[in-house]
Amino acid sequence: MTDTSLFDTANYVKAIIFDVGIELKQLFINHIRHTNSQKLHRQFKSKGELVTYADKLANNYLVKQLKKRFPYFDIYSEESPNNEIGGIHWIIDPLDGTTNFVMGNPFWNTAIALVDNQNKEVLIGIIYAPMLDKLYLAIKNKGAFVNKHKLNLSKITPPKEITKALNTFCHGSSKQAKIRAAKYYQTAFENGFIARQLGSAQLELAYIAEGLIHTMFIAEGNTYDYAAAALLIKEAGGTVFDQYFTPWTYTHDENKDIIAGINQELLYQLKRYLPLS
């Protein structure tokens, strides 16, 4: 895709992600005002993961709008998985942080990435957190932005030691992923450094690009957990590693460890504490 087509595509996606964000914001406000989570028609997916009417509404709207404008691009979504994808395609997380949403916690977002499966790269990453009034955008080789302000980690003074850094983590749905995440939390606690689970992976990774969080460990993540934010971090000057501590490149693989941070130095300090697969 040309630079012009990437910018045009990004502008279209910004518009539809903003529209769905406004709808989700109103649902969230109505939900917490009524303090009745049944209004969201909660259900449990496999292995205890929540899904709500809000997830489905956002997913249906985004899929419809993307198909209307880009009928030849496949779509892979958390709510409608499609493993038969190829070439250039979309990855959607319509509501990342569903549990936060249901609990009345405003730390949730919608994320969309445009990826090139053949060249193993993310072309566009967009994350919108309506309750925080933050829209993050990254375009390959064109930089990373939040609300049109360019993100540049070179201007941020990082902590010199991992014990002084703010570190977060999350995990996939398997029992093993949860065990490894719990082990990491215990290790951090025993070794005197901070590790927190905030409940919205893409937004936590976006916070790394913004310099608000220093590192994040994802045990067995799915591509919809991190694809958009991985580009954001890289374009801001941060680092994203895979489970082998080699630079992350896009592949349509599930259950993949991701280690991200504001720089390599902190990640190499963190490595000794990680229960890598």
CATH number of the domain within which 75 lies: 3.30.540.10
Domains held by the chain: number: 2
User: What are the DSSP calls for the chain, one per residue?
Assistant: --HHHHHHHHHHHHHHHHHHHHHHHHHHHHHHHHT-GGGG--EE-GGG-EE-HHHHHHHHHHHHHHHHH-TTSEEEESSS--S---SEEEEEEEEETHHHHHHT----EEEEEEEETTTTEEEEEEEEEGGGTEEEEEETTTEEEETTEEE-GGGS---SSGGGSEEEEEE-SSHHHHHHHHHHHHHHHHTT-EEE--S-HHHHHHHHHHTS--EEEEEEE-HHHHHHHHHHHHHHT-EEEETTSSB------SSEEEEEES-HHHHHHHHTT----
Tell me if 41 is assigned to some domain.
yes
Other C-beta atoms lying within 10 Å of the C-beta of residue 85:
17
- Is 277 inside any structural domain? no
159-187, pLDDT tens digit by residue? Answer: 999 999 999 999 998 999 999 999 999 99
Residue 276 lies in a domain: no
CA-closest candidate to residue 250, choices 221, 275, 270: 221
The residue-averaged pLDDT of 90-96 equals 96
Is 47 found in the same domain as 183? Answer: no
User: Are 144 and 180 members of one domain?
Assistant: no
pLDDT at 108: 98
191 and 65 belong to one structural domain: no
151, 171, 194 — which closes off a domain?
151
Nearest to 151 by CA among 233, 74, 91, 59: 233
Chosen domain end from 151, 183, 205: 151
Do 164 and 73 sit in the same domain of this protein?
no
| Residues 143 and 193 placed together within one structural domain of the fold | no
pLDDT at 85 over 80: no
Q: How far is CA 271 from CA 114, 216, 226, 244, 261, in A?
A: 30, 11, 19, 10, 12
Within this chain, do residues 140 and 211 fall inside the same structural domain, yes or no? no
Assign 48 a pLDDT band (cuts: 50, 70, 90): very low
Q: Specify whether 140 is located in the same domain as 164.
A: no
Which residues on adjacent β-strands are paired with residue 138?
125, 144
Query: Structural domain of residue 100, as residue ranges?
Result: 3-151
Kind of pairing, strands 43-44 and 50-51? antiparallel
Q: Do 145 and 257 fall within a single domain?
A: no
| CB within 8 Å of 7: residues ≥ 6 apart | 139, 142
Q: Which amino acid is at 111?
A: A
pLDDT over 90 (residue 43): no
Mean pLDDT within 90-113: 95
Asked if the structure places residue 141 within a domain, the reply is yes
The predicted model gives 193-218 an average pLDDT of 97
For residue 220, being part of any structural domain is answered with yes
Q: Is residue 107 part of a domain?
A: yes
What pLDDT band is residue 33 in, cutting at 50, 70 and 90?
A: confident
CATH number at residue 219: 3.40.190.80
For residue 38, pLDDT beyond 50: no
**Please, is 42 exposed, middle or buried when counting C-beta atoms within 10 Å of its C-beta (0-12, 13-18, 19+)?**
middle
Whether residue 163 sits in one domain with residue 119: no
Q: Is a pLDDT exceeding 80 seen at residue 271?
A: yes
99-119: average pLDDT: 95
51 lies in the same domain as 162: no
CA–CA separation, 132 and 101 (whole Å): 13
Name the least confident of 39-48, 94-103, 132-141: 39-48
In this structure, what token pair is assigned to residue 223?
A: 């591509």
Mean predicted confidence (pLDDT) in 215-225: 95
**Are 199 and 113 contained in the same domain?**
no
Answer whether residue 51 is part of any domain: yes
Same domain, 97 and 110: yes
Question: Does residue 91 form part of some domain?
Answer: yes
Domain end, chosen from 125, 151, 177, is at 151
Q: Which two tokens stand for residue 168?
A: 């977060």
